[in-house]
């Protein structure tokens, strides 16, 4: 029986690819044993068991670049995590360790490499994260989603595989009629889908609130709005007060993202690597508003990679509250622009990414 460790997390952008890889491993080796290693108190500790996998948490945390005093405790947690990671490797004895980025992948892949166990890194972004850059020297293979990653990783280790995506989105992408019915949308209206992630994005919510009067007057456009769990109560209050017009459909979280994608004529989103991969596979026109609150501004770099190929439009976080919906309302009516963006972004799609990553895993074990 083959044994695999999959490590990383912290955000959905790391967790969803990790679960997709694990699912592909299980499909190829049905009797395999898969263990996830994540960071304690992060979302992977809930999401991974919900997907049917066992997970162990490390007490690891990221360094705070603004508060150096806080980093004393972070360093102590890192030492504890390294010790715990060595224990996990010695006890579980994996055939390979796979890292998807995030705090936990550092200690566990270092511990695996020290024991001579092959390691594989999966980098989702166009700008490599700190953890993956540190692990690259000892990694056996580095699977990437963007071209031109030689400036971050050894060229001979790089394999272009793309980012693994949730397969249910791909299967149900054309299910437009059911999507309209599910969300109670009007099929005669143009639909804007606005996503801020499962927790929400303050700037995107602020942008739509500032445009409520414009949207109220526009009877030919409707908005499916995932505001996020953090902001739902405040936005729901506006709805109760009658400030949100009927052509805006407010939700805290969209569980049927396959339906949401199928009805969207235009998407407004942050520029996370996982989301961009999904937009590419589905050929969706998108306005990207990169989050400024991410390490090394990697979302801006992700978005710029698409803008350079005329595959997306980017609006900065600072300008979004003032300009986003003026631009979106004009763009959603422009069939030529929507078609151009759709045709260009689908050219960037990498298909069967999880299976291609498992092909690389199979070569190493």
246 compared with 77, residue with greater pLDDT: 246
CATH number for the domain spanning 59: value is: 3.40.50.2000
Q: 178 and 56: one domain?
A: no
Q: 148 and 177: one domain?
A: no
Phi-psi region at 100: left, alpha or beta (left = phi > 0; alpha = psi -120 to 50): alpha
Q: 184 and 80: one domain?
A: no
Per-residue pLDDT, 71: 65
pLDDT digits 0-9 by tens, 274-290: 899 999 999 999 999 99
pLDDT digits 0-9 by tens, 327-360: 999 999 999 999 999 999 999 998 899 999 999 9
168 compared with 121, residue with greater pLDDT: 121
Q: 141 and 233: one domain?
A: no
Q: 197 and 64: one domain?
A: no
Q: 319 and 230: one domain?
A: yes
28 burial level (CB within 10 Å; 0-12, 13-18, 19+): middle
Q: 116 and 173: one domain?
A: no
Residue tagged 């143009």 (tokens) = 190
For residues 208 and 149, give the distance between their C-alpha atoms in angstroms, rounded to a whole number: 36
Q: 140 and 188: one domain?
A: no
Q: 329 and 356: one domain?
A: no
The structural domain count of the chain equals 2
Q: In the chain, what percentage of residues exceed pLDDT 90? A: 72
What mean pLDDT comes out for the span 76-94?
94
pLDDT digits 0-9 by tens, 91-140: 999 999 999 988 889 999 999 999 999 999 999 988 888 889 999 999 99
Residue closest to 320 by CA, chosen among 205, 207, 212: 207
pLDDT digits 0-9 by tens, 173-187: 568 999 999 999 999
Q: 154 and 186: one domain?
A: no
Q: How far is CA 119 from CA 19, 56, 84, 143, 245, in A?
A: 17, 18, 18, 11, 52
Per-residue pLDDT, 174: 65
Does 169 have pLDDT greater than 80? no
Does 19 have pLDDT greater than 60? yes
Per-residue pLDDT, 66: 60
What mean pLDDT comes out for the span 188-202?
87
Does 70 have pLDDT greater than 80? no
- Domain extent at residue 145: 3-163+351-364
pLDDT digits 0-9 by tens, 145-154: 988 899 999 9
Q: 89 and 233: one domain?
A: no
61 compared with 156, residue with greater pLDDT: 156
pLDDT digits 0-9 by tens, 292-332: 987 778 899 999 999 999 999 999 999 999 999 999 999 99
Residue closest to 4 by CA, chosen among 309, 276, 358, 289: 358
What mean pLDDT comes out for the span 230-235?
90
Binding residues for UDP-N-acetyl-alpha-D-glucosamine: 11-13, 125, 166, 198, 254, 299
3-state SS, residue 127: coil
Does 60 have pLDDT greater than 80? no
Q: How far is CA 156 from CA 125, 139, 247, 359, in A?
A: 19, 11, 52, 17
Q: 204 and 253: one domain?
A: yes
Binding residues: 11-13, 125, 166, 198, 254, 299
């Amino acid at each position: 029986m083959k044994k695999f460790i999959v490590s990383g997390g912290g955000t959905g952008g790391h967790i969803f690819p990790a679960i997709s890889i694990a699912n592909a491993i299980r499909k190829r080796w049905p009797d395999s044993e898969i263990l996830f290693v994540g960071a304690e108190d992060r979302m992977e500790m809930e999401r991974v068991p919900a997907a049917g996998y066992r997970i162990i948490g490390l007490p690891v945390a990221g360094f705070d670049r603004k508060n150096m005093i806080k980093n004393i405790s972070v360093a102590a947690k890192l030492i504890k995590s390294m010790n715990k990671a060595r224990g996990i490797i010695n006890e579980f004895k994996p055939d390979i360790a796979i890292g998807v980025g995030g705090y936990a992948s550092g200690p566990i892949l270092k511990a695996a490499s020290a024991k001579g166990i092959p390691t594989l890194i999966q980098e989702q972004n166009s700008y490599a994260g700190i953890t993956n850059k540190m692990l690259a020297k000892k990694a056996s293979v580095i699977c990437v989603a963007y071209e031109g990653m030689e400036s971050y990783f050894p060229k001979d280790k790089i394999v272009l595989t793309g980012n693994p995506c949730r397969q249910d989105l791909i299967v149900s992408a054309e299910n437009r009629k059911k999507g309209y019915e599910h969300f109670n949308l009007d099929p005669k209206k143009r639909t804007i889908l606005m996503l801020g992630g499962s927790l929400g994005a303050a700037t995107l919510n602020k942008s739509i609130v500032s445009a409520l009067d414009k949207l109220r007057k526009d009877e030919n456009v409707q908005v499916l709005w995932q505001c996020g769990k953090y902001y739902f109560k405040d936005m729901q209050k506006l709805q109760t007060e009658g400030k949100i017009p009927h052509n805006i459909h407010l939700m805290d979280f969209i569980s049927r993202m396959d339906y949401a994608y199928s009805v969207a004529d235009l998407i407004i989103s942050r520029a996370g690597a996982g989301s961009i991969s999904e937009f590419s596979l589905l050929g969706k026109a998108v306005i990207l508003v990169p989050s400024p609150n991410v390490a090394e501004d990697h979302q801006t770099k992700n978005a710029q990679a698409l803008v350079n190929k005329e595959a997306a439009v980017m609006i900065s976080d600072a300008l979004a509250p003032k300009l986003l919906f003026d631009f979106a309302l004009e763009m959603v009516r422009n069939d030529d622009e929507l078609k151009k963006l759709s045709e260009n972004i689908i050219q960037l799609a990498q298909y069967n990414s999880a299976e291609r990553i498992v092909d690389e895993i199979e070569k190493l074990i």
